[in-house]
Amino acid sequence: MSEIPEDHPRYDSLITRERIVEGVRIGITSPQGLVAQGRGESFDYLLGECTSESASCAEKVAVAMLLLARRPVISVNGNTAALVPDGLVALSEVTGASLEVNLFHRSETRVGKIIDHLRSHGATDVLGGKGDARIDVNHDRAVVDGAGIYAADVVLVPLEDGDRCQALVHMGKSVIAIDLNPLSRTSRTASVTIVDNVTRAIDNMVELALDMDCTDKDVLRESIVSFDNEDVLSSALELIRERLLYISGGIV
């Protein structure tokens, strides 16, 4: 990786780019993943590159859902495997959720490489290699494990495609998305949308899960019932509007 001085004003963002480029170099991230990261970065810039209050709220509800779920699964793609492998493994451990590799540009080689990569970061059991079931979308993300995403009641889908998010919701699953674009089809169709960078969201969720593990189950349930995803999306758009007004001195 290139040397980035720690006092560089864009240190976090540049390190994130380096990780994605490294992911492509070692064959776990697709070249198209670089473009997806770019779209995310542009929204992160507009959102102020920090976790907003409403994103923090959504992260809390998402953790409550994972802790209460019977069969929670965390879906892993090439970008998340490159950016937050330790966080994914830690979140899986503290919530009891399984990890499952699921790719838009699927090849058995890349699935195998991501499984090995997660194992090298401490994962014991990673699903996604079987691909013995399908969900209702007409691209490679349809391929899932029968004992994993197919049978899950709660699925965490960082950096998802809108159509698969919709298909999972149609199957009756609760879907948690992490997506910096509050306008994407994924954000608009998920049960809970975390409008935050996956690099911050996953770490926040690990901390929350450790804190909330002993919380009364009824209290967790209540937080889910009173959650409104429309509010989260409106808050993110309002935050972008306020920042644009502030930066432009009210010209926008």
Residues found near Mg ion in the complex (CB under 5 A):
161
User: Given the rule CB under 6 A, which residues bind ligand ATP?
Assistant: 36-37, 39-40, 43, 159, 161-162, 178-181, 184-186, 197-199
3-state secondary structure of 98: strand
Nearer to ligand ATP, 29 or 37 (CB): 37
Residue 40 binding partner per list Mg ion, ligand ATP, none, with a CB distance cut-off of 5 to 8 Å that depends on partner kind: ligand ATP
> In the complex, what is the shortest distance from the CB of residue 31 to ligand ATP, in angstroms, rounded to a whole number?
13
* CB of 62 or CB of 159, closer to ligand ATP: 159
In terms of Cβ atoms closer than 10 Å to its own Cβ (0-12, 13-18, 19+), residue 125 is exposed
The token pair that represents 57 in the structure block:
């709220």
Shortest separation between residue 213's beta carbon and ligand ATP, angstroms:
25
Cβ 89 to ligand ATP, closest distance in Å?
Answer: 18
Residue showing the smallest CB distance to ligand ATP in the complex: 40
Which are the contacts of 192, defined by CB distance < 8 A and separation ≥ 6? 58, 61, 62, 65, 174, 175, 176, 177, 227, 229, 232
Would you list the DSSP string of 127-176? E-SS--EE-S-SSGGGEE-TTTGGG-SEEEEET--HHHHHHHHHTT-EEE
Q: Structure tokens of 85? A: 């492998």
Q: Which residue number, 82 or 220, has a Cβ lying nearer to ligand ATP?
A: 82
Strand 133-134 versus strand 143-144 pairing type: antiparallel
Question: What minimum distance in Å lies between the beta carbon of 159 and ligand ATP?
Answer: 4
Q: Which is nearer to Mg ion, 90 or 159 (CB)?
A: 159
Give the whole-angstrom CA distance, residue 35 versus residue 52: 24
178 or 220: CB nearest ligand ATP:
178
Q: Kindly state the smallest distance separating residue 184's Cβ from Mg ion, in Å.
A: 7
Closest residue to Mg ion using C-beta atoms = 161
Contact partner, 178, from Mg ion, ligand ATP, none, Cβ < 5-8 Å per class: ligand ATP
Q: Residues for the chain: how many in total?
A: 252
